[in-house]
Amino acid sequence: MISFNTFFKKKNLHNRSLLKILDNIANGSKIINEVLLSGDPKNLKSENIKNIQNEDVQKLDVIANNVFLDYFKKNKEIQGVLSEENENIIQGNPFGKYIVAMDPLDGSSNISVNIPVGSIFSIYEKKDASISLCESDFLKKGKEQKCAVYVLYGTSTILIIALNDEVHGFTLNLKEDEYFLTFPNIKIPEEGNIFSINEGNIKSVDPEIFNYVESCKELDQNGKRTHTGRFIGSLVADFHRNMMKGGIFIYPKTSDKPTGQLRLIYECNPIALIAKFAGSKSSDGNIAILEKKPKSIHERTAFITGSNKMVDKLLSFYKNE
Ligand code: AFP
């Protein structure tokens, strides 16, 4: 078995600065995994609660945020962090070569019902490390990302990395307390039969999305279904299943969320980079996700990604209007 660190040595990845960040993410995720598996009932809450001393007990997204921030703040390679949990950017080492955007615990409303959650990371080079960090450093197109990572805390804990045009998956071995390469060189199947959308929103989405979803429900000549619908409500879990099996993930603009629900910089961009390096594409229905220039750090966007042929078919509905 090839361990996480051995893998990068074999790949001749001598970028020690980046390796340190990947190591932080791997180590942080081991702690989150332990907390999730600890069986402590207070960790199963989706909201902040009081303990018996009437003290505030942090909900898990805050715990996850603190775990990763603790690592990143000590890492001299990192000049700053943008997190879903913090309104403002967090300054790191003024001379750090990288900046990191993260959703430390995505899908956290699912924790109380024992459904998989994830952590998502987007890593950029800080072009001029000597110029002090500001919000605009995070307002970059997703195609400029150096590396993207997610961790999925599911039936096992896996870490997926997109780097140098490749995507690789590692599974956490609890006995060894180490990630090992289990899914080398992941490619998204060109075609799939899974569609993932929150159908509670279907009456307020673009007609193109509505029509595409209707097309997924068409039966074949034998009256059998052509597609299957799956929506967990944890982006990482929904995307991961579709990446491995073939499918499309859609979170469009809705009446509740007129600009979409998902965050561009630390949710959609890293997933879109992983999709790209795994051979596929992502769009908001109009423009490629990786080409979008964010205007604000917590910006939301509509998001479509998955198997090439499914994404192309959906986008063809927009072109035909
Ligand atoms: P939470 O982290 O607040 O649970 O949100 C999860 C999420 O951002 C993403 O993981 C899901 O795909 C999406 O929201 C689900 O949103 P809906 O509940 O509106 O379907």
Q: Which atom of ligand 1 is nearest to the CA of 257?
A: 19
Q: What is the CATH number of the domain that holds 308?
A: 3.40.190.80
Enclosing domain of residue 13: 4-183
Rounded distance, CA 181 to CA 186, Å? 11
Contacts of 135 (CB under 8 A, 6+ apart): 88, 89, 296, 297
In a domain, 189, yes or no: no
Q: Tell me: do 150 and 198 sit in the same domain.
A: no
Q: Tell me: do 111 and 149 sit in the same domain.
A: yes
Mutate to test the pocket of ligand 1, among 84, 232, 251, 298 (most ligand atoms within 8 A of CB): 251
- Domain boundary among the residues 164, 183, 202 is at 183
Does ligand 1 lie within 6 Å of residue 107's CB atom?
yes
Rounded distance, CA 61 to CA 109, Å? 10
In a domain, 53, yes or no: yes
In a domain, 106, yes or no: yes
What local confidence, expressed as pLDDT, does residue 28 receive? 98
Q: Tell me: do 175 and 311 sit in the same domain.
A: no
Residue type, 55: E
Question: Phi/psi at 199 (nearest 5 deg)?
Answer: -70, -10
In a domain, 140, yes or no: yes
At 124, is the secondary structure helix, strand, or coil? Answer: strand
Rounded distance, CA 188 to CA 165, Å? 13
Q: Tell me: do 154 and 39 sit in the same domain.
A: yes
What local confidence, expressed as pLDDT, does residue 87 receive? 93
Mutate to test the pocket of ligand 1, among 195, 197, 198, 266 (most ligand atoms within 8 A of CB): 198
Query: CB of 122 within 8 A of CB of 273?
Result: yes
The single residue listed with the structure tokens 């509905």 is 317
Q: Tell me: do 29 and 153 sit in the same domain.
A: yes
Q: What is the CATH number of the domain that holds 26?
A: 3.30.540.10
Q: Which of 164, 194, 190, 196 is nearest to 273 (CA)?
A: 164
Rounded distance, CA 230 to CA 250, Å? 11
Rounded distance, CA 119 to CA 147, Å? 14
Q: Tell me: do 279 and 142 sit in the same domain.
A: no
Q: Tell me: do 167 and 239 sit in the same domain.
A: no
Residue 106 Cα, ligand 1 centroid: separation in angstroms? Answer: 7
What local confidence, expressed as pLDDT, does residue 194 receive? 98
Question: Phi/psi at 102 (nearest 5 deg)?
Answer: -145, 150
Residue 271 Cα, ligand 1 centroid: separation in angstroms? Answer: 14
Q: How many domains does the chain have?
A: 2
Q: Tell me: do 170 and 252 sit in the same domain.
A: no
Does ligand 1 lie within 6 Å of residue 108's CB atom?
yes
Tokens of 186: 């992941």
Q: Which atom of ligand 1 is nearest to the CA of 238?
A: 12
The single residue listed with the structure tokens 């990302």 is 145
Does ligand 1 lie within 6 Å of residue 5's CB atom?
no
Residue 234 Cα, ligand 1 centroid: separation in angstroms? Answer: 6
183-213: string of b/e by CB count within 10 Å (b at 16+)?
eeebebbeebbbbbbbeebeeebbebbeebb
For the chain of 321 residues, list the mean pLDDT of each consecutive stretch of 10: 90 86 98 91 65 61 94 97 95 95 92 92 88 93 98 97 97 97 98 98 96 98 98 98 98 96 98 98 97 98 98 92 54
Q: Tell me: do 164 and 243 sit in the same domain.
A: no
What local confidence, expressed as pLDDT, does residue 53 receive? 53
Tell me which H or E stretch contains 121.
strand 117-125
Residue nearest to atom 4 of ligand 1 (CA): 107
DSSP string, 52-118: TTS-EE--HHHHHHHHHHHHHHH-TTEEEEEETT-SS-EE--TT-SEEEEEEEEETGGGGGGT--EE
- Domain boundary among the residues 155, 183, 211 is at 183
Q: Tell me: do 141 and 257 sit in the same domain.
A: no
Residue 152 Cα, ligand 1 centroid: separation in angstroms? Answer: 15
Query: CB of 175 within 8 A of CB of 30?
Result: no
In a domain, 52, yes or no: yes
Q: Tell me: do 158 and 214 sit in the same domain.
A: no
In a domain, 94, yes or no: yes
Does ligand 1 lie within 6 Å of residue 233's CB atom?
yes
CA 109, distance to chain mean position in Å, is 16
Q: Tell me: do 65 and 85 sit in the same domain.
A: yes
Rounded distance, CA 76 to CA 24, Å? 12
Q: Which of 53, 177, 64 is nearest to 111 (CA)?
A: 64
Does ligand 1 lie within 6 Å of residue 75's CB atom?
no
In a domain, 188, yes or no: no
- Domain boundary among the residues 183, 215, 230 is at 183
Q: Which atom of ligand 1 is nearest to the CA of 198?
A: 20
Does ligand 1 lie within 6 Å of residue 61's CB atom?
no
Does ligand 1 lie within 6 Å of residue 201's CB atom?
no
Contacts of 199-207 with CB under 8 Å at 24 or more apart are 199/229, 199/231, 201/252, 201/254, 201/255, 201/256, 204/254, 204/255, 204/256, 205/252, 205/253, 205/254, 206/252, 206/253, 206/285, 206/318, 207/321
